Structure 1
Amino acid sequence: MSLPEVHLVAGTVGEALRLAPVALAMREQGRLTAVPVATGTDPDAVGQALAAFGLTPRITLPSGDGHAETMRRFDELWAVRTPAAVVVRDSLAPALAAFWRRVPVLTVDAGRRSGEFGSASALEPQRRLLAQVTTVHLAATPLAAMNLLDERVIPGDTLLTGGTAQDAAQLLATRTLAAPPRGHRTIVLGVPAERAEAIGPALRYLGGRYPDLEVVRAADFAPGLESATLLAQAYLVVTDDEDLVEEALAAYCPVLMIGFAARHAEALHAGSAKLVEPDPAAITSETADLLEHRVRRDAMALGGNPYGDGLAAYRVAQATAALLGHGQFPDPMPVKPTAGVAR
C-alpha cells in the first residue's frame, strides 16, 4: 500500500532550507511520501539548496508571471497528481491552488508578522492571506501563535513546533565541522547590493584598527553547506534579511539587525540580536563595540536561538501525518530558548 504523498513547495532558497529537514523527517518516520517541489523564479537555486541535504526536487515547476499564472500551473499539476497535503512557508499561490482543490495546507513558520502592512513589501499582506487558507498553522514561537489568535485563527488549528532553521543548521553542521577555521574574525554582511555599497566600505575601514578582521558578503557564498560553514565560523552577522537573522542565530552567531524591531522581537528579547539604525556610522560603531569587547559579543551568542530546538521538523512531519489520519499530533515545543556556546 502506497503512503500518502505530501508536496513540500519551496519557492526560495530560504524556504528550501526550512522544508528540507521536514522532508527528511517524513522519510525517517515512514508514514508519508515527501515530494520536494522546486518553484519560484529560480528553481535551480532551490534545487541546489535541497541538494545540500541529499535531496532532489521530485517536481520542478517555475512560477508564472504573477499569482494567477502560478496558481494555474499548480492547479494543472494537482489535477493530474493530487497530493494528500501541501506544506508551504510563504508561497501563497500554491497554497491557494491547493485550497481550491480542497487539499489541506500546512504552513511552517506561521504567524510571522513584521507590522509593515503598508510598506512596499508584499510579504505582510501575503502572510495574512495565507493564514486564511491554511488548515494547520505550524508556529515557530509563542508570539507567532499569538499573532494568529489575534487574527481570529481557531486555537486548535495552531501548533507550536519551533522553526526548522535550527534543524537545518544541525543537519548541515555534521558536514561543516571538519572545515578549517578561517584564522580571523569574519563579519558577514547580508544586505542588498545598494545598501552594501554604503555599509561595506564603512565596515572595512575597521580593518585598520583590527588587522584580523574580514568583511564578506553573504551573497557571495552558495546556499547550503558553503553558507552554513560561513555562519558557523562567523564572529558577527550584520543584515536586514529576516531569513538570514534566523539562520545566523541557528548557528549561534550574534546579529546586528537593521530594520523594524517587530520582525524579530523574540531575538531582541533574548539578547542574541541587537537592533541598529540603517546608517553606516551607527552600524560601524556597534560593530566596533562588539569587536573591542569580546565579552559583549559572547553574551549575545549565549542568548541562543528562540526560534527552535532542533526538533521542529519531526513535529511538523508528525503533525502532517496526524492530519492525514496516521498517528497523533505531537506535543508543542517547550517554551524555552535553546542556549548556545560562545566561540
Structure 2
Amino acid sequence: MLRIMTIYGTRPEAVKVAPIIKAIEAAPDLEHVGVISGQHREMLDQVNELFELVPDHDLNIMTAGQSLNEIVARVLSGVDAVLDKERPDVVLVQGDTSTVLGAAIAAFNRRLPVVHLEAGLRSGDIDSPFPEEANRRLTSQISSLHLAPTATSKVNLTREDISANNIVVTGNSVIDALRLAMENLPEHFEDERLERLRRSHAEGGHGRILLVTAHRRENLGSAMVDIGHAVAELAHRYPNLTVVFPLHKNPEVRKAIQPAVEAVTNVLLTEPLGYVEFTRLLGLADIVLTDSGGVQEEAPSLGKPVLVMRENTERPEAVLAGTVKLVGTHAQRLVDEVSLLLDSEEALKAMANAVNPYGDGHAAERAIAAIRWKFGSGERIPDFRIAP
C-alpha cells in the first residue's frame, strides 16, 4: 500500500489537487493523507466542500499581516510535525505557492520523495510573477517526479538539467476539475445583480459581458490604478457592456480599483466568488480580462478569449494557440485590446475558437499512473499530447 500525502493551501491548489485526491481515494492500492495549510481560508474551505475533500490535518497557518517568510516558515514547521506523525511514502504538492515551497522543503529534509503537480511552468523572469516563479523553480530542484501539464513545461525542465526520466506529461488537472464543477453548477447566483444578469442572458436580452479579475502582487500600485481607469473607460465607451469585477480581498487592490469604477452603473463590483459560481460566471462572459494564472487555463476550456494583464506568462501554450493574449497593464492598451474584440466579431471568434492546449480531462488518471510507475509498480505511461 503506497501512502501518499497531498499538501495544499490555496483555492487554485485545491481545485487542481481535487481530481488527484479523488483518484487516490478510489484506488485500492493507494492510501491518502490530506493536509491543508489554510493559506486561503474561506476560499479553500469552499473548494473542499464542493469536491467533498476532508483533510486529515489543518495547519491553519494564517495570521494578520504576516510576511511571505513567516508563511513559508509556518508551513515548513507545521508540515514537518505532520510528516513525523503520518510517515507517508510520497508527498505531493501542486503549483507555486508559499505552501508548496515550505511543504516541499519539509519533505526533502526528511528524505521523502516530492511529486510536483503542474511542474515546469516558467515565465523567464524571477520577479514575475512574484514569488511564484521562484517558488516553482526551487521546488523543481528538490522534486523526484515532475508531473508536467504540457510538452512545453517538460522542455523547460529538461533545459534545467532535470532528467526526462523523472518527467511525465499529464495534461492539466484543472480541466478535470472544471468538468466536475460543470456537473454541479448552481441554478442561481447568490448576488441578485448577477442573478438578473444570468436571467437576461438566458432570455437573449443582454449585451456583451466582460469579466475582470486582478490581484497579482507585481500589479499593485500604479498598474492596478491603470486597470481601474481602463475598466471605467470601457464601461463609459460601451454602455451596453456589463463589466463584472469580483474584487480581491487585498485592501491594496480595492483601494486602487474602487475610486475609478464604484459609481459606474454598468460595472458590477462583487465580493470574491466561490469556485462554482465563478465557473458559472466564466461561462456567461464574452471576454475575460485577468492577471490570474489559473483563469488562463480555465477560460480557454470554455471557449472564452483571455486578455492577460501581464508582460509575460508561464503559460505560453494558449498564447501560441491564439486563445490568450498578453496585453500588459497600461490603461490605453487595455482599452484598445478589449475594444478590438468588442468591435470585431471576427477577432472575437478567432480567439474563442482557438484550440485549448491544456488537457482532455484525464490528467488525474495519468498522474496516478505516473506515481505508481515511479514509486510502486506498473509501466511508464505515454506523455499526453494535444490531438491534431
TM-score higher than 0.5 here?
A: yes
Separation (CA, whole Å) in 2 of partners of 1:331 and 1:264 = 22
CA contact (8 A) 1:39 1:61 kept: yes
Deviation at 1:162, TM superposition (A): 1.0
* 2:59 counterpart of 1:72: no
Extract unaligned runs of 5+ from structure 1.
Answer: 338-343
Deviation at 1:157, TM superposition (A): 0.1
Q: Which amino acid aligns with 2:210?
A: I
With over 3 angstroms needed to count, the CA separation of the structure-2 counterparts of 1:301 and 1:181, relative to structure 1, is farther
- Aligned mate of 1:133, from 113, 136, 142: 142
* 2:219 counterpart of 1:168: no
Deviation at 1:196, TM superposition (A): 5.0
Deviation at 1:269, TM superposition (A): 0.6
Query: Which residue is equivalent to 1:341?
Result: none
With over 3 angstroms needed to count, the CA separation of the structure-2 counterparts of 1:181 and 1:307, relative to structure 1, is farther
* 2:326 counterpart of 1:303: no
Separation (CA, whole Å) in 1 of partners of 2:275 and 2:32 = 20
Aligned pairs (5 A) from 1:135-150: 135-150=144-159
Q: Which amino acid aligns with 1:276?
A: V
How many correspondences in the alignment?
335
Separation (CA, whole Å) in 2 of partners of 1:253 and 1:326 = 40
- Which region of structure 1 is more displaced relative to structure 2, 13-22 or 211-220? 211-220
Secondary structure of 1:252 counterpart: coil
Q: Which amino acid aligns with 1:14?
A: P
Deviation at 1:316, TM superposition (A): 0.9
Secondary structure of 2:83 counterpart: helix
Separation (CA, whole Å) in 1 of partners of 2:292 and 2:199 = 25
* 2:364 counterpart of 1:313: yes
CA contact (8 A) 1:149 1:155 kept: yes
CA contact (8 A) 1:273 1:300 kept: yes
CA contact (8 A) 1:306 1:336 kept: no
Aligned pairs (5 A) from 1:171-250: 171-176=180-185, 183=201, 184=206, 185-192=208-215, 195=223, 197-219=225-247, 220-250=271-301
- Which region of structure 1 is more displaced relative to structure 2, 44-53 or 75-84? 44-53
Deviation at 1:199, TM superposition (A): 2.4
Separation (CA, whole Å) in 2 of partners of 1:182 and 1:94 = 46
Deviation at 1:95, TM superposition (A): 0.9
Separation (CA, whole Å) in 2 of partners of 1:336 and 1:235 = 26
Q: Deviations over 1:125-163 (max 9, x none)?
A: 221111111010011111111110010001100001111
Separation (CA, whole Å) in 1 of partners of 2:227 and 2:75 = 36
- Which region of structure 1 is more displaced relative to structure 2, 320-329 or 20-29? 320-329
Separation (CA, whole Å) in 2 of partners of 1:118 and 1:44 = 28
CA contact (8 A) 1:13 1:46 kept: yes
CA contact (8 A) 2:151 2:385 kept: no
Identity of aligned residues (%): 31
* 2:284 counterpart of 1:275: no
CA contact (8 A) 1:106 1:134 kept: yes
Secondary structure of 1:176 counterpart: coil
Secondary structure of 1:117 counterpart: coil
Separation (CA, whole Å) in 1 of partners of 2:184 and 2:200 = 16
Deviation at 1:38, TM superposition (A): 1.4
- Which region of structure 1 is more displaced relative to structure 2, 193-202 or 83-92? 193-202
Secondary structure of 1:34 counterpart: strand
Secondary structure of 1:198 counterpart: helix
CA contact (8 A) 2:122 2:315 kept: no
Q: Which amino acid aligns with 1:104?
A: P
Q: Deviations over 1:273-298 (max 9, x none)?
A: 11213111111111111112223212
Aligned pairs (5 A) from 1:89-104: 89=94, 90=96, 91-104=100-113
Separation (CA, whole Å) in 2 of partners of 1:78 and 1:157 = 23
Extract unaligned runs of 5+ from structure 2.
Answer: 63-69, 189-197, 248-270
Q: Deviations over 1:194-224 (max 9, x none)?
A: 5554323433443455444211124434232
Deviation at 1:330, TM superposition (A): 2.6
Report the TM-score, using the length of structure 2 for normalisation.
Answer: 0.79
Deviation at 1:328, TM superposition (A): 3.1
Query: Which residue is equivalent to 1:121?
Result: 130
Query: Which residue is equivalent to 2:116?
Result: 107
* 2:6 counterpart of 1:8: yes
Q: Deviations over 1:4-53 (max 9, x none)?
A: 33221112111111111111122334332333321143344322222222
Query: Which residue is equivalent to 1:35?
Result: 33
Query: Which residue is equivalent to 1:151?
Result: 160
Deviation at 1:178, TM superposition (A): 5.4
With over 3 angstroms needed to count, the CA separation of the structure-2 counterparts of 1:215 and 1:197, relative to structure 1, is farther
CA contact (8 A) 1:165 1:250 kept: no
Separation (CA, whole Å) in 1 of partners of 2:76 and 2:236 = 53
Q: Deviations over 1:155-209 (max 9, x none)?
A: 1000011111111111111122856555233211111375554323433443455
CA contact (8 A) 1:87 1:107 kept: yes
Query: Which residue is equivalent to 2:52?
Result: 54
